[in-house]
Structure 1
Amino acid sequence: MIYEHLGGRPRIHETAVVAPSAVISGDVTIGENCQVLHGAVITAEGGPITLGEHVIVMENALIRATAANPVHIADHVLVGPMASISGATIAEEVFLATGVRVFNGAVIRERSEVRINGVVHLRTTLPPETVVPIGWVAVGDPVRILSPDRHEEIWDAQHELDFPGYVFGVDRSTPDLMVQLTERYARSLARHVDDRAV
C-alpha cells in the first residue's frame, strides 16, 4: 500500500519490488533493485527516507523518519525481519539482523554489523566495520558496546543522550512525562488522517 502523507509521495524505482502487504508512506525514495518484503513499513513522518540501490527490507521491519531525523540507507544494506530504524543514517554494506533497533540520530558506518536483537542507541555513531554482538547495546559517540547485563553503564550513557528530550521535546524531569509525551506525539501522528492512497 502506497500513501501520500503531508504532501509527500513515495518514489519507487521501476526495478524495485514492494510486496503488496508492505506500507510505504510519504516522502520515501526507493532505489534500483530494492526489495521490500511483506509487512514492512517505511513511513516518512515529516522527514525524508532514502533507500539506495540493492537495499533489502525484510518482513515486518519498520523504517521511520521524523522532521528532525531523516533516514538515509546507502547501497547494499540488509534490514532484517522485525528490525526497526528511526531517524538514522546507514552507510554502504551494513547488515542489520533480525530484531535490531537503531534509534534517532544514530550513524552506522560502512560494512558494520548489528547482530540479532542488537541496539544502536540515540545519537550513537558506529565506526566502519564495527560489530555489535547478539543482544548487545551500542551507545554514545565515541561508542561503547556493552552487554545487556551492564544496565547501569548503559543507563549512564543513555541518560546523557536524553531520549525524551531529543526525540519528543519533553524534559525527563516533567512530573507528568508520559501525559505530555503521549499527547504531543498523538497530535503529530493524527496528521495521518489526511493520508491518501496513491
Structure 2
Amino acid sequence: MLFAHLGSEPRIHPDAVVAPTAVISGDVTIGPGCQVLHGAVLTAEGSPIVLGAHTIVMENALVRASSTHAVHVGAHTLIGPMASIAGADIGDDVFLATGTRIFNGAEIGDRSEVRINAVVHVRTVLPADSVVPISWVAVGDPLLILPPERHEEIWAAQRELDFPGYVFGLDRETPDLMVQLTERYGRSLSRHADDRRLG
C-alpha cells in the first residue's frame, strides 16, 4: 500500500518489487532490484528514506525516518524480519539480522553485520566490516560492543548519548518526561490523519 504523506509520494523503481501488504508512506525512494516483503513498513515522517539498489527489506521490518533524521540504506543490504531502523545511515553490503534495532543517528559501515536481536544505539558509529554479536549492544563513538549482562557499562555510555534529548528534544530529568514525550510525539504522528492512499 502506498501513501502520500506531508505532500510527498513514494518513488519506486520499475525493477523493484513491493509486496501488496507492505506499507510505503511519504518521501521514500526504492532503488532498482529492491525487494520489500509482506508486512514491511517504510514511513518517511518528515525526512526521506532512500534504499539503494538490490536492498531487501524482509517481513515485518520497520524503516522510519523522523523530521530530523533521514534513513539512507546502501546497495545490496539485507534488513531482516522484524528489524527496526530509525533515522540511521546504513552502508553497502550490510546484513541486519532478524530483530535488530538501529537507532537515530547511528552509522553502520559497509559490509558490517548486526546479528540476531542486536542493538546499535543512538549516535553510535560502526566502522566498516564491524560485527555486533547476537543480542549484544553497540553503543557510542568511540564504539563499545558489549554483551547485555554488562548493563552498567552500556548505561554509562548510553546516558552520555542522551536518547530523550537527541530523539525527542526533552531532558531526561523532566519530572513528567513521558507525558511530554507522548504528547509531543503524538502530535507529530497525528500528521498521518491527512495521508492519502495512492493507486
Output the TM-score relative to the length of structure 2: 0.99
Separation (CA, whole Å) in 2 of partners of 1:101 and 1:109? 15
> Which residue in 1 is equivalent to 2:82?
82
Residues 51-73 of structure 1: per-residue CA shift (max 9 Å, x gap):
01000000000000012110000
| Residue 119 (structure 2) pairs with residue 119 (structure 1) | yes
Provide the rounded CA distance (Å) in 1 between the counterparts of 2:147 and 2:64: 26
The CA distance in 2 between the partners of 1:159 and 1:142, in whole Å, is 14
Match in the other structure for 2:101: 101
Task: Name the structure 1 match of 2:8.
Answer: 8
Mapping for residues 6-155 of structure 1, pairs under 5 Å: 6-155=6-155
**2: CA distance, partners of 1:78 / 1:152:** 31
Cα-Cα RMSD: 0.4
Q: After TM superposition, where is structure 1 displaced by more than 3 Å over at least 4 residues in a row?
A: none
Distance in 2 (CA, whole Å) between partners of 1:82 and 1:158 is 23
Distance in 2 between the 1:182 and 1:45 partners? Answer: 16
Normalized against structure 1, the TM-score is what? 1.00
Please, which runs of 5 or more residues in structure 2 have no aligned partner? none
Instruction: State the identity %.
Output: 72
Equivalent residue, structure 2, for 1:164: 164
Unaligned runs of 5+ in 1: none
Q: 1:132-159 CA deviation, whole Å, 9 max, x = no partner?
A: 0000000001110000000000001110
Give the partner amino acid of 2:129. Answer: E
Letter in 2 for 1:143: L
Shift of 1:23: 0.1
